[in-house]
Structure 1
Amino acid sequence: MGENSNAHAMAQAGFGNLIHNFDALGWIVFVTLSVMSLASWYFIVANAIRNSMVRSRAQKVIHAFWNTNNAQDAIREMEKQPKGEPFSKIALDCASAAAHHKNADGGQLAQTLNRSEFIDRALRQAVARESLRLEGGMTLLATVGSSAPFVGLLGTVWGIYGALIRIGASGNASMAAVAGPVGEALIMTAFGLFTAIPAVLAYNFFNRSNRLTYAQFDEFAHDLHDYFATGARVDAPTPTVK
């Protein structure tokens, strides 16, 4: 009889019973973890698609720029690229800055900043802007990865505390009375880990992927600066990042 009661108690320590026994704080923890999980998975999928597209097109865009006959053809080639493609936007900003400085030749702008300095400033702003776009969702992934286990632990501690209060009030400390509430509370810790682990892994993966892309931004920007500041054309770079 005792074994049957214990088995029945363990069978009751499920997710459905946990939700059924939620109080206000339990619901807050559960909803918070659910929102964290959905938001992190959204950015995981979105960043994976975006990074894959940027990395797959990077060398094609760079070669397309350098393999044109002149600067005007290169600019037209960059204008054909997709709206969210970062390398073409850096090149277009650089070309725009060079043209703007040329049109201001003899004016106050040209006297204040020489051509090289003006183009360098435009390139720094363009690289910073495109780098910031790659950072989308990274803060959230880091926050979820670091805080979700503790949010789940809060739910577990609160659930066990509530179970102990109920057990003390009823005076029944048998396995049948303890196993169900405690097992249900421990599910919150598992939920917190289930939310945090994908976010941590994704953050580390995207952080490394972004560093490689930033290196490509810098390399391309240096070549653009040399070209538009001095007029000396560089050869199409050999791919260095796989």
Structure 2
Amino acid sequence: MQLLTAAAGANFGIWNALNEGGIISWSVFIILVTMSIGSFYILFTKLLQQQKIINQGNKVRSSFWNAPNLREASTKLEAKSAYRAIVEDALLAQEQHGKLTDPVDQHDWMANSLARAQGGISARLGEGLAFLATVGSTAPFIGLFGTVVGIYRALIKIGAAGDASISTVAGPVGEALIMTALGLVVAVPAVLAYNWLIRRNKSIMEDLAAFTNDVHGFLMSNGAVKPVLAAPTKPAQVAKPAPTATAAR
């Protein structure tokens, strides 16, 4: 029984099926594997990028607004921090507003400058996601192409041999099923990664939008308006028992 199983694996394994399919099967296989490698590379690199910005946001909430002014506060952030880029763009917009020859409301000028800074960060966060979306939508069809070719080859074998025995069609049908499975294996993780990264990007951009609004209010009020920082909670004091009548006497 073991010998028969080993022989079947040698005759109808995945590599035999790909070799039997020829250049078309190998081309489909290589394309799908390349798509899978690219998808996982983008997933891990984007997760690292997102986590870095999340860590920067935690640092902003803990110490940024304790500084006396924005210029000094920005030095507490990393040099290439997304939050520092917003602060520096806001300070630059404030300086540029005084040099404008055509009067523009400072509120609008600052809002447009901060919106442009946010747009640049959003664009960087979205880099690579189009590839994931493309893989998720096209990988099943690439696998389906290999499936169609495998079924076509099975029909040719049936016509040439004059019978539809398992030994005649096992190779091409196995090749077709392998292509279908590969297409799904590549597409499903890409779709899941795309949706997950999009959701994390949305959460990050919401935090950046809130920070941008705080910076805008701070500059427009000359430092009078800043986010309210949560005050440290004081330990609860144990109430002293009231004196008894005996003690009072």
List aligned pairs for 1:160-175, cutoff 5 A. Answer: 160-175=151-166
Q: Does 1:86 align with 2:82?
A: yes
For residue 67 of structure 1, what is the aligned residue in structure 2?
66
1:65 Cα deviation after fit = 2.7
Of the two, which has the highest radius of gyration?
A: 2
Q: State the 1:180 CA deviation.
A: 2.6
Equivalent residue of 1:23, what SS?
Answer: helix
Structure 2 residue runs without a partner (length 5+): 231-249
Indicate the residue corresponding to 1:38 in structure 2.
37
Q: State whether structure 2 residue 226 is matched by structure 1 residue 234.
A: yes
Which one of the candidate residues 146, 159, 162 is aligned to 2:150?
Answer: 159
Bigger CA drift: 37-46 or 17-26? Answer: 17-26
Letter in structure 2 aligned against 1:25: I
How far has the Cα of 1:60 moved from its partner?
0.8
Deviation of residue 50 (structure 1)? 1.1
2:202 is aligned with 1:206: no
Q: Which runs of 5+ in 1 are unaligned?
A: none
Change (3 A) 1:151 1:197: same
AA aligned to 2:227 is D
Identity, % of aligned positions: 38
Cα distance change, pair 237–21 in 1 and its aligned pair in 2 (3 A): farther
Normalised to the residue count of structure 2, the TM-score between the two structures is: 0.83
Give the secondary-structure state (helix, strand or coil) at the position aligned to 1:22: helix
Cα distance, 1:75 vs. partner?
3.2
**Post-superposition offset of 1:63:** 4.0
Once residues 62 and 217 of structure 1 are traced to their aligned partners in structure 2, the CA distance between those partners, rounded to angstroms, is 12
Shift of 1:162: 1.2
- The answer as to 2:9 corresponding to 1:20 is no
| Deviation beyond 4 Å, 4+ runs, structure 1 | 4-11
1:219 to 189, 205, 210: 210
Matches of 2:62 and 2:106, distance apart in 1: 25
Do 2:10 and 2:16's aligned partners in 1 also have CA atoms closer than 8 Å? no
2:116 pairs with 1:131: no
Task: Find the aligned partners of 2:156 and 2:9 in 1 and give their Cα distance.
Answer: 19
Q: Which amino acid aligns with 1:186?
A: L
Pairwise CA distance, 1:6: 10
What is the CA distance between 1:198 and its match in structure 2?
0.8
1:121 correspondence with 2:112 = yes
Q: Note if contact 1:127-1:218 (Cα within 8 Å) is conserved in structure 2.
A: yes
**TM-score, reference length from structure 1:** 0.85
Compared CA separation, residues 165 and 20, structure 1 to 2 (3 A) = same
For 1:56, the equivalent position in structure 2 comes to 55
1:191 has 2:186 as partner: no
